[in-house]
């Protein structure tokens, strides 16, 4: 599938990158402020443009929800960097920027940050699945399930559910309560409830200002499109054929980070709008690198470009990869898993 795959480096070689990448971890305050403004202002402008079009009865103007959604996605990437403490590298400023953006992205910042930290700490570990990631079964686990649960898993992994119903459920409903952290102390509850309250106030003000129907016609598609794009990005960053999974005894953070996340090599415009999140293998290896410095890493260390590299076209083929085959050490499709089971029988 990947003509640019580089074989997994020894553990000590993967670990050596940690020291090499440490010099890129310092953000530039002026650049961070610039990145924030060139994302917030276009988002507001496109949203307002869509509203003016609706107000004037020029319905084709609703096409502006597409760039508005793209910039909302980029705002989430800034929130994401704030969660890693890499956007300003000033804890209080990062946290409050992330919390404010969380109201726009419908993502409770402190609740999400804790789940995402668990994802980074356990990505690629077969014994630590289930927190902040996409549910992925092994071939053996899938075949051991009763029929109804196998059908449920197939439905869950269907593209219409994964990238359609799933994002709507996640951003509109699931993140309104701290699912998975109900008994993890006050912070997840405070984060979700405070975000919900701020979201309710903002929604009420916007409905009062522009009207219920225009608000729903504009903001609902913006949120759903941005959410679907976000889930898609997260999916292809980890659900690709040459990804890395292993049991706890064989799991090694640098190796799992470098080879368990893809380099989603997008066209330049998409790279910019997604905050370079496609350079995900480097991000997982050193999450404190600001997103706008990730291209700098690839420029200085071209040997990282080919590791886990997938193109936009190749990423479309990743949708069929749904089960981890422990024998081959690869993600496989339902059909490939069934063939292997028939051959073994």
What pairs with residue 264 in β-bridges?
310
Exposure class string for 190-200: b at 16+ Cβ within 10 A, else e: ebbebbbebbe
How many domains would you assign to the chain?
Answer: 1
Number of H helices, E strands in the chain: 17, 5
Distance, in Å, from the CA atom of 278 to the CA atom of 292, rounded to the nearest integer, reads 12
Q: What is the pTM of this model?
A: 0.93
Distance, in Å, from the CA atom of 221 to the CA atom of 243, rounded to the nearest integer, reads 32
Is 214 within the bounds of a domain? Answer: yes
In this prediction, residue 12 carries a pLDDT of 61
In this prediction, residue 14 carries a pLDDT of 72
In this prediction, residue 2 carries a pLDDT of 43
Distance, in Å, from the CA atom of 214 to the CA atom of 49, rounded to the nearest integer, reads 12
In this prediction, residue 4 carries a pLDDT of 41
Is 1 within the bounds of a domain? Answer: no
Q: Taking Cα atoms as reference points, which of 35, 32, 18 lies closest to residue 282?
A: 18
Q: Is 132 left (phi over 0), alpha (psi -120 to 50) or beta?
A: left
Is 5 within the bounds of a domain? Answer: no
Distance, in Å, from the CA atom of 82 to the CA atom of 256, rounded to the nearest integer, reads 23
What pairs with residue 263 in β-bridges?
279, 309
Is 3 within the bounds of a domain? Answer: no
Q: Are 77 and 291 spatial neighbours (Cβ–Cβ below 8 Å)?
A: yes
Match 């063939």 to its residue by tokens.
Answer: 339
Domain ranges, residue 328:
11-344
What pairs with residue 125 in β-bridges?
246
In this prediction, residue 131 carries a pLDDT of 75
Is 178 within the bounds of a domain? Answer: yes
In this prediction, residue 69 carries a pLDDT of 98
In this prediction, residue 113 carries a pLDDT of 96
Q: Which parts of the chain are beta strand (E)?
A: 137-138, 263-265, 309-311, 323-325, 330-332
| Residues making up the chain, counted from first to last | 345
pLDDT beneath 70, residues of the chain: 1-13, 345
Is 296 within the bounds of a domain? Answer: yes
Residue 232 CB-density burial (10 A; 0-12 exposed, 13-18 middle, 19+ buried): middle
In this prediction, residue 143 carries a pLDDT of 93
Is 4 within the bounds of a domain? Answer: no
């Amino acid at each position: 599938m990947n003509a640019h795959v580089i074989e997994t480096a020894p553990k000590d070689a993967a670990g050596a990158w940690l020291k090499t990448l440490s010099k890129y971890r310092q953000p530039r305050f002026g650049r961070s402020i610039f990145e924030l403004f060139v994302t917030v202002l276009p988002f507001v402008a496109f949203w307002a443009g869509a509203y003016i079009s609706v107000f004037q009865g020029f319905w084709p103007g609703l096409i502006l929800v597409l760039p508005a959604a793209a910039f909302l996605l980029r705002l989430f990437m800034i929130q994401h960097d704030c969660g890693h403490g890499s956007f300003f590298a000033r804890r209080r400023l990062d946290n409050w920027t992330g919390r404010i953006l969380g109201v726009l992205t419908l993502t409770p910042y402190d609740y999400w940050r804790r789940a995402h930290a668990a994802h980074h700490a356990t990505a690629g570990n077969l014994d630590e699945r289930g927190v902040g990631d996409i549910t992925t079964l092994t071939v053996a686990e899938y075949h051991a399930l009763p029929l109804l649960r196998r059908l449920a898993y197939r439905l869950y992994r269907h593209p219409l559910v994964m990238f359609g119903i799933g994002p709507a459920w996640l951003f509109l409903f699931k993140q309104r309560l701290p699912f998975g952290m109900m008994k993890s102390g006050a912070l997840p509850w405070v984060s979700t409830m405070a975000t919900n309250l701020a979201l309710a106030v903002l929604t009420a003000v916007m409905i009062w200002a522009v009207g219920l129907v225009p608000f729903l016609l504009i903001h609902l598609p913006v949120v759903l499109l941005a959410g679907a794009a976000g889930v898609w990005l997260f999916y292809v960053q980890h659900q690709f054929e040459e990804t890395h999974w292993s049991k706890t005894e064989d799991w090694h953070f640098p190796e799992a980070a470098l080879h368990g996340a893809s380099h989603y090599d997008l066209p330049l415009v998409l790279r910019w709008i997604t905050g370079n999140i496609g350079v995900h293998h480097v991000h997982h290896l050193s999450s404190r690198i600001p997103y706008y410095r990730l291209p700098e890493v690839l420029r200085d260390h071209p040997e990282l470009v080919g590791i886990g590299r997938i193109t936009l076209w190749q990423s479309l083929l990743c949708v069929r990869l749904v089960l981890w085959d422990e024998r081959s050490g690869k993600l496989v499709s339902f059909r490939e898993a069934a063939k292997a089971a028939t051959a073994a029988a």
